[in-house]
A = this chain, B = another copy of it.
Amino acid sequence: MNRSYPASSVKKNISKTVSEIAALVDGAAVGDAAISIYGVNRLEYAMPGEITFLSNPKYKKFLAQSQAGCIIIPHDFELGDEYSSRTFIRHENPYAAFVQLLRVFVPEKRYQEGFIHPSAVIGQLSVIAPTAYIGAGCVIGEECVIAGNAVLVGNVTLYDAVTIDENSILHANVVCYQETVIGSRAIIHAGAVIGSDGFGFHEVENGRFEKIPQVGNVIIGDDCEIGANSTIDCAFVGSTIIENGVKIDNLVHIAHNVVVGENTAIAAQAGISGSAKLGARNRIAGQVGVVGHLETAPDVIVHAQSGVAKSIQTGGHYFGSPAKPHGEELKILAALKHLPELVRQVTELKKLHEKD
């Protein structure tokens, strides 16, 4: 298959010399500092004309064979004679220096201010700031407010009375149901659905369900990021709340009336059941499930595939299904390996006793 490296690295006509880059990141150039760099890449894939970095000693094996034009290395990294003809930048934090360069060589897409594509449909009484961008195929309901520099990429659908604050971007196919509120500088990735009905029914005769109207909304704070195809249900009544600074990965489910505390992160495919309240700075790993109507303290870390079945009162690491303090679960997992042997041992001990 074609593994040509991303076009971004070549097409953009961005070029800097190693000495310019060294000055930019406050590092020290070693070797030919006049070399021109056109892009960024990882150590094992970088080509001449690309800059990369080496931080983790684990990746040292890729150093000799790397074709990179320049490699950012730790301050005190020992370079053998075989590297005398190569070019480096010494830096006290190569990774941070590299991250600083990403947007230099791959600038963020700029959406034209004040652009509304003629195919976009905008409902009555909606207000679009003069600096907002509304892409092709967007369908915006009535009484919406789109603030300054907000971007709706394309094929975004907003129901009525949706509010998008300044500098937020809604990627393609995002759907916001009625009265969704999204704060400033939010990034909502493609296909995310915000404000769909909570899963609320009551059983009537013969197990048949009647729908309980879900009349609340979703409020997303400032500086949040919501992953692709994630779903956040509206509240039964009141609001499902995603506090400021929350980062949610792809395919995550947030049920009705959940509150996610400030600066909490939730990894892919995790699910938070109805009315649960996650504390601030929680770290919820992938495929975790959280039962409804419980609370977690601030600074709780839940490891992958765990199931949080009870409220968690104190910060720290939790693991397992049901989730326990991490160390406890590790002990159980370690013991489990010996369980078949244990069964055998106990059977033997019983026999010995019966003999006695």
Contact = CB atoms under 8 A, between A and B. Distances in A.
Interface of A: 1-8, 11, 40-42, 45, 99, 102-103, 105-106, 108-109, 117, 119, 121, 135-137, 139, 143, 153-155, 157, 159-161, 171-173, 175, 177-179, 181, 183, 187, 189-191, 193, 196-197, 199, 201-202, 206-209, 211-213, 215-217, 219, 221-222, 225, 227-231, 233, 235, 237-239, 241, 243-245, 247, 249-251, 253, 255, 257, 263, 265, 267-269, 271, 273, 280-281, 286-287, 289, 291, 299, 304-305, 307, 321-322, 324, 328, 331-340, 342-343, 345-346, 349-350, 352-353
B342 A332 contact: no
Given A172-B157, A346-B345, A353-B352, A3 B241 contact: yes
B346 A238 contact: no
A299 B228 contact: no
Contacts of A159: 109, 153, 172
Contacts of A334: 340
A11 B263 contact: no
A26 to B, nearest CB: 18
A41 B333 contact: no
What is the total number of copies of this protein in its complex? 3
A212 B98 CA distance: 11
24 contacts: A1-B183, A2-B219, A3-B241, A102-B237, A105-B215, A121-B136, A154-B157, A157-B172, A173-B193, A187-B197, A189-B193, A189-B197, A190-B196, A201-B247, A206-B281, A209-B265, A228-B231, A250-B253, A334-B340, A335-B342, A335-B343, A342-B343, A342-B346, A349-B350
Nearest to A215: B106
A161 B239 CA distance: 39
B229 A191 contact: yes
Which of A6, A155, A245, A253 has most chain B Cβ within 10 Å? A6
Contact of A287 (B45, B206, B231, B271): B271
